[in-house]
C-alpha cells in the first residue's frame, strides 16, 4: 500500500542533466559518508542530501526534491518506518530504498516498510569496514539506486503517476532487448503440475497481491525464488502465510514438494527440484551466484523444466535485471507456459520485461489480472 496525500504539493522535475538525485538518511555520520562516496562513484547519481534522522529527511525533501531516498531504519528523533509515510506523502512517486542490518527485527520492519510503499531494501553490513571495503555491498547499492532512479525518471517522461506501482526499464547493463515489441506465444497444452514464481525488486508486495488473488483457485505446488538475503526469506514466508492464508515455508534440503504449499528458496541458497520416486524433493546448494544472485530464478527454472517439462507454469514478477530469462527458455522448449507482470504495475520492469521482449510469454498482464490468468491456465482453459 502506498500512502498518498491529496494535498501533496508538486515536486520539481528532475535536474536538466537527467541525473538521479539521491538523499541518504542514516544516524551514523561515518556510514552516511561511506554510502555517499559509494553512490558518487556512479556519474549518473547526484547526492542532494545527507541527514541523520527521519525528521530531517522529511524537512529536506520538501526543499530539495529527490528521485531516491536511502533510508535507515533505526535512528533517533524519527526512525525510518515513521518517516516513510511522511516522505511518500511529500512525493508519492519517490523511490525509497530501506537499509537495514540482517536481524529478525529489522527484516520484519523492512517487510512492513515494503507493504507501506518502500520500493526495495538493501542489507547493510554490521561493520563499517564491510561497507567501505565491500565490493558486493557497493555494487548492489549503486545498482538498486540507479535502477529505481531510472524508473522514476522514465515515469516522469511518460507523464504517468500510478498510485500503487511504478515502472522502469531494465537494470543497468541489461541487454537492449527491452526496446522491442512484445510478441506473445501460445500457451502450452499440458495441464500444469507446478507453479514456479520468480521475483525481485517490488516482489514482496506483488507476491502478497498475487497469492491473495490466487487463494482457493489452484492446488499446485508453488516454488518461489525471490531475491532476498538470509533471515528475510523466512520472514517473507511467514508474511505470505499470515496475509494470504496460503501455507508457506522456507525450503529445506530434501523437503518433499507438496501441493497447495508455497516453498520459498532460502536466502543465500539456490533451490532446485529433483525427481524422486514417491514425490519430488527440493535440493539447496551454495554454488556460484547467477546474475549476481543466490538464490537465482534461472537455477530454479532449469530444474523445473527437467522435472516437470510441459507441465510447468511460470510467473515472472517485478524485478531488476534479467534473472529468469535464461531459465524460461527450457520451460517453453519443453512445452511449458510463461506469463509475466506488465510494465505499468511493476516496480521494476527488468525481469518480466526481459522474458516478455524475448518472446517467451503467453501473457503479459497487470498484477491484479495474473491470478485469474494462472487459474485458467492451470485447468488448460487458455490452451
Q: CATH number, domain at 100?
A: 3.40.50.2300
Is 59 annotated in the active site? no
Q: Are residues 287 and 324 in the same domain?
A: yes
Catalytic residue among 323, 342, 346, 378: 323
Contacts for 18 with CB less than 8 Å, ≥ 6 apart? 44, 153
Same domain? 135 vs 262? no
Q: Is residue 309 part of a domain?
A: yes
Distance CA 18, CA 9 (A): 22
Domain limit, last residue, from 106, 129, 158: 158
Whether residue 7 is contained in a domain is answered as no
Tell me, what's the pLDDT at 176?
A: 35
What average pLDDT values come out for the chain (383 residues) when binned by 10 residues?
Answer: 32 62 96 93 97 98 97 96 97 94 85 93 77 77 94 74 35 39 90 97 95 95 96 95 95 97 98 93 98 96 98 97 97 98 92 96 96 93 64
Q: What is the predicted pLDDT for the residue at 172?
A: 36
Closest CA to 80 of 91, 96, 93: 96
Q: Is residue 9 part of a domain?
A: no
Domain stops at, among 158, 188, 214? 158
In 10 A of CB 160, how many CB atoms?
Answer: 12
DSSP E strand boundaries for the chain = 20-25, 45-51, 68-72, 95-100, 120-123, 194-199, 222-226, 248-250, 262-264, 270-274, 281-285, 312-316, 337-341, 363-365
Same domain, 196 and 143: no
In this structure, the answer to whether residues 243 and 94 fall within a common structural domain is no
Q: Examine the domain organization and report whether 121 and 270 are in the same domain.
A: no
CA-to-CA distance for 45 and 77, rounded, in angstroms? 28
Contact predicate 99/121, CB 8 Å? yes
Please check whether residue 316 is in contact with residue 199, taking contact to mean a CB–CB distance below 8 angstroms.
yes
Q: Give the pTM.
A: 0.87
Same domain, 196 and 148: no
Query: Is 352 inside a domain boundary?
Result: yes
Q: Which of 227, 239, 263, 270 is catalytic?
A: 227
pLDDT computed for residue 180 by the predictor = 52
Q: Give the total number of structural domains in the chain.
A: 2
Residues 100 and 215 in one domain: no
Helix extents (H) in 50-98 = 54-63, 80-90
Domain that holds residue 204: 176-378
What pLDDT, on a 0 to 100 scale, did the predictor assign at position 166? 33
Please report the pLDDT score of residue 131 as a whole number: 66
Residues 119 and 66: their CA atoms lie apart, in Å, by: 14
Quick one: which of 297, 336, 355 has its CA closest to 193? 336
318/348 same-domain check = yes
With CA atoms as reference, report the closest residue to 70 among 21, 8, 106. Answer: 21
Distance CA 16, CA 153 (A): 11
Q: Give the Cα separation of 244 and 214 in Å (integer).
A: 9
Closest CA to 321 of 299, 361, 290: 290
Residues 297 and 149 in one domain: no
The strands making up 95-100's β-sheet, listed across from edge to edge, are: 45-51, 20-25, 68-72, 95-100, 120-123
User: Quick check: is 227 catalytic?
Assistant: yes
Give the domain CATH number at 221. Answer: 3.40.50.180
For residue 383, being part of any structural domain is answered with no
130 and 223 both lie in a single domain? no
Q: Is 329 a catalytic residue?
A: no
Residues 203 and 136 in one domain: no
Question: Are 24 and 149 within one domain?
Answer: yes
Q: How many Å apart are CA 236 and CA 248, to the nearest integer?
A: 9
Q: Which of 110, 147, 199, 200 is catalytic?
A: 200
Predicted pLDDT at 383: 60
Q: Burial level of 189, CB count in 10 A (0-12/13-18/19+)?
A: exposed
**Helix (H) / strand (E) containing 300:** helix 297-308
Q: What one-character-per-residue DSSP string does 171-190 give?
A: PTT--GGGGS-----PPPSS
Q: Is residue 367 in a domain?
A: yes
Name the domain boundary from 95, 125, 158: 158
In a domain, 165, yes or no: no
Residue 287 domain flag: yes
Angle at 153 between CA 148 and CA 158, to 5 degrees: 125
Amino acid at each position: 500500500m502506498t500512502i498518498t496525500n491529496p494535498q501533496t504539493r508538486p515536486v520539481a522535475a528532475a535536474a536538466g542533466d537527467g541525473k538521479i538525485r539521491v538523499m541518504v538518511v542514516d544516524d551514523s555520520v561515518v556510514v552516511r559518508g561511506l554510502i555517499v562516496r559509494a553512490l558518487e562513484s556512479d556519474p549518473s547519481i547526484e547526492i542532494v542530501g545527507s541527514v541523520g534522522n527521519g525528521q530531517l529527511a522529511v524537512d529536506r525533501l520538501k526543499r530539495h526534491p529527490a528521485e531516491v531516498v536511502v533510508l535507515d531504519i533505526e535512528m533517533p528523533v524519527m526512525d525510518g518506518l515513521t518517516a516513510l509515510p511522511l516522505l511518500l506523502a511529500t512525493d508519492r512517486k519517490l523511490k525509497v530504498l530501506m537499509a537495514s542490518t540482517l536481524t529478525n527485527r529489522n527484516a520484519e520492519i523492512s517487510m512492513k516498510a515494503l507493504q507501506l510503499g518502500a520500493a526495495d531494501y538493501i542489507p547493510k553490513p554490521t561493520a563499517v569496514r564491510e561497507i567501505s571495503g565491500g565490493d558486493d555491498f557497493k555494487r548492489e547499492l549503486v545498482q538498486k539506486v540507479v535502477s529505481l532512479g531510472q524508473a522514476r525518471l522514465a515515469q516522469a517522461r511518460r507523464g504517468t503517476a500510478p498510485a500503487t506501482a511504478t515502472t522502469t526499464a531494465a537494470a543497468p547493463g541489461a541487454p537492449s532487448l527491452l526496446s522491442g515489441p512484445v510478441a506473445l506465444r501460445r500457451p502450452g497444452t499440458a495441464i500444469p503440475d507446478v507453479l514456479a514464481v520468480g521475483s525481485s525488486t517490488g516482489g514482496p508486495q506483488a507476491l502478497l497481491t498475487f497469492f491473495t488473488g490466487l487463494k482457493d483457485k489452484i492446488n499446485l505446488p508453488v516454488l518461489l525464488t525471490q531475491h532476498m538475503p538470509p533471515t528475510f526469506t523466512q520472514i517473507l514466508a511467514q508474511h505470505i502465510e499470515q496475509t494470504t492464508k496460503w501455507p508457506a515455508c522456507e525450503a529445506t534440503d530434501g523437503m518433499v514438494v507438496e501441493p497447495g504449499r508455497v516453498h520459498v528458496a532460502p536466502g543465500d541458497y539456490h533451490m532446485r527440484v529433483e525427481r524422486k520416486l514417491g514425490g519430488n524433493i527440493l535440493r539447496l546448494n551454495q554454488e556460484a551466484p547467477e546474475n549476481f544472485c543466490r538464490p537465482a530464478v534461472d537455477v530454479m527454472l532449469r530444474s523445473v523444466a527437467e522435472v516437470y517439462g510441459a507441465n510447468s507454469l511460470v510467473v515472472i514478477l517485478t524485478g531488476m535485471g534479467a534473472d529468469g530469462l535464461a531459465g524460461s527458455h527450457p520451460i517453453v522448449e519443453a512445452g511449458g507456459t510463461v506469463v509475466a507482470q506488465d510494465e505499468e504495475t511493476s516496480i521494476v520492469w527488468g525481469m518480466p520485461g526481459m522474458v516478455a521482449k524475448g518472446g517467451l510469454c503467453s501473457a503479459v498482464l497487470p498484477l491484479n489480472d495474473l491470478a485469474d490468468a494462472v487459474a485458467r491456465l492451470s485447468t488448460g482453459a487458455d490452451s
